[in-house]
Amino acid sequence: MWIPFEKGGYMVSRIKERFKVLKERGEKALVAFITGGYPSLEVAGQMVLGLAECGADIIEIGVPFSDPIADGPVIQTASYRALQGGVTVAGILEMVRRVRQQSPVPLVLMSYYNPILQMGLHEFCRQAAQSGVDGLIIPDLPMEESVPLLQAAEPEGIDVVPLVAPTSNRERIAAICAQARGFVYCVSVTGVTGEREEINTDLASLTGSIRQCTDLPLVIGFGVGNAATARHLAPLCDGVVVGSALMRLIMEDSFDRARELVREIKSAISRQ
């Protein structure tokens, strides 16, 4: 499954390739989120590999930020501790480089805008691509402000994955999907990241609107914390993101249970 180059020397998008394989197998993607650098860069790197081994199809690595306005308490705490431990953007990219030497798993960085802006968008995208980053999710960068990043990412072959929210209307969804690369991240609830008892959004309608605008894979995230929720959402999407629930277990030092959760959810969304 490790196919780095296609004819012409252009890299095949690992994200695209992974969704293609999953589609052939009739499976949905499990996107596992971890905070980069928690509890340390070294351990986080090992966790990325471990989660990929037990069924995570794509790993989303959170770049810690001092003011994570889109995150709930669990990821806030993990980010804060990672920063206390001295984690930097360069450190995260170095971790990605080490992971990439050992695994072809697609890696998507989730970062707030300011840290990458400070490195310089072109410089960041160049280094990220060299490290083996496949995609970027920037939760505080709406489509109106995203042109500079898209221009920096495109030549490096990095997919900028946009978010669609329950509040997005049809015109916005169409415009967002037109900019999308890799996949579309559908935010399941209005709010911050974190596990939820139930999801009240009319996701059938929201995902339907997205499907009308793009053929790209559609991944649902925010609030997905267990197999039951994931199984319920699977028919509407091509993948789900599990973040806070994993980080909560990791922060409780229950890495075995985190791996178990990944296996459970992967299994729940694969038997449809």
Q: Which is nearer to other proteins, 50 or 91 (CB)?
A: 91
Enumerate the β-bridge partners of residue 220: 186, 240
CA distance 243 to 193: 8
Residue type, 152: A
* Beta carbon of residue 243, minimum distance to other proteins (angstroms, whole number): 15
Indicate if 71 belongs to the active site. yes
* Beta carbon of residue 162, minimum distance to other proteins (angstroms, whole number): 8
H helical segments located in the chain? 14-25, 41-53, 73-84, 89-102, 113-119, 121-131, 147-153, 170-179, 203-213, 227-233, 244-251, 255-270
Q: Which is nearer to other proteins, 107 or 176 (CB)?
A: 176
* Beta carbon of residue 176, minimum distance to other proteins (angstroms, whole number): 7
Q: Which is nearer to other proteins, 70 or 213 (CB)?
A: 70
CA distance 76 to 87: 14
Q: Per the residue annotation, which of 17, 57, 71, 238 is the catalytic one?
A: 71
For residue 229, the number of C-alpha atoms closer than 13 Å in the C-beta half-sphere is: 21
Q: Per the residue annotation, which of 17, 27, 57, 60 is the catalytic one?
A: 60
Q: Which is nearer to other proteins, 43 or 117 (CB)?
A: 117
DSSP state of 69: T
Indicate if 60 belongs to the active site. yes
Enumerate residues 6+ apart whose C-beta is below 8 A from 11: 4, 5, 157
* Beta carbon of residue 89, minimum distance to other proteins (angstroms, whole number): 6
Contacting positions for other proteins (CB under 8 A): 65-70, 72, 76, 80, 83, 88-90, 112-119, 139-145, 162-169, 172, 176, 187, 190-192
Active site residues: 60, 71
